[in-house]
């Protein structure tokens, strides 16, 4: 029987950490579906993305380990999504460990280790420094 794996994220500024998560999640099953945070959901979480939902979705859909991408509009939709997509395994990075254990009533919950030394937050911080430095050089 085929196993479906489900995961969620914003996936802004795609980097090797995202790729590793998606690859390792897909290795746990036969099909990977990804809930991609909508722009409105990100605003509600006080997060900003450099790329809008449609751009982030197109990038995710081009990754060979991703079989389907759907919008994540709120925290509460996960149980419905697990049922809708027939997910057998829910996967998130280990920085979320314990936060989604309540989903184990509906499928297996698995936390994957994050890739060391890379994060979207750090990339954004570095970009901010580069932009500020460039602006200072022009002044």
CATH of the domain at 82: 3.40.50.620
Question: Is residue 45 annotated as a catalytic residue, yes or no?
Answer: yes
Cα–Cα distances in angstroms (integers) from residue 84 to residues 31, 34, 93, in the given order: 14, 13, 22
Domain count, the chain: 1
Residue 124, pLDDT score: 54
Active-site residue, from 2, 3, 45, 57: 45
pLDDT of residue 46: 80
pTM of the full structure: 0.84
Q: What local confidence, expressed as pLDDT, does residue 78 receive?
A: 98
* Domain, as residue range, for 87: 4-138
Residues 6+ apart with CB under 8 A from 110: 28, 89, 90, 91
Low-confidence ranges of the chain (pLDDT < 50): none
Distance (Å, rounded) from C-alpha 138 to C-alpha 11?
32
Give me 24's structure tokens. 């390792």
Of 2, 3, 47, 78, the catalytic one is 47
């Amino acid at each position: 029987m085929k196993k479906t794996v489900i995961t969620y994220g914003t996936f802004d500024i795609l980097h090797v950490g995202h790729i590793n998560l998606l690859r390792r999640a897909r290795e746990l099953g036969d099909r990977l579906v990804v809930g991609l945070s909508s722009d409105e959901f990100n605003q509600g979480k006080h997060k900003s993305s450099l790329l809008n939902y449609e751009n982030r979705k197109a990038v995710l859909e081009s990754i060979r380990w991703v079989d389907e991408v759907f919008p994540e509009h709120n925290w509460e939709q996960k149980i419905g999504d697990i049922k809708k997509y027939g997910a057998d395994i829910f996967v998130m990075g280990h920085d979320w460990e314990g936060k989604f254990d309540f989903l184990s009533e509906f499928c297996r919950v698995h936390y994957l280790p994050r890739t060391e030394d890379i994060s979207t937050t750090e990339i954004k911080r570095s970009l901010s420094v580069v932009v500020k430095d460039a602006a200072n050089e022009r002044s």
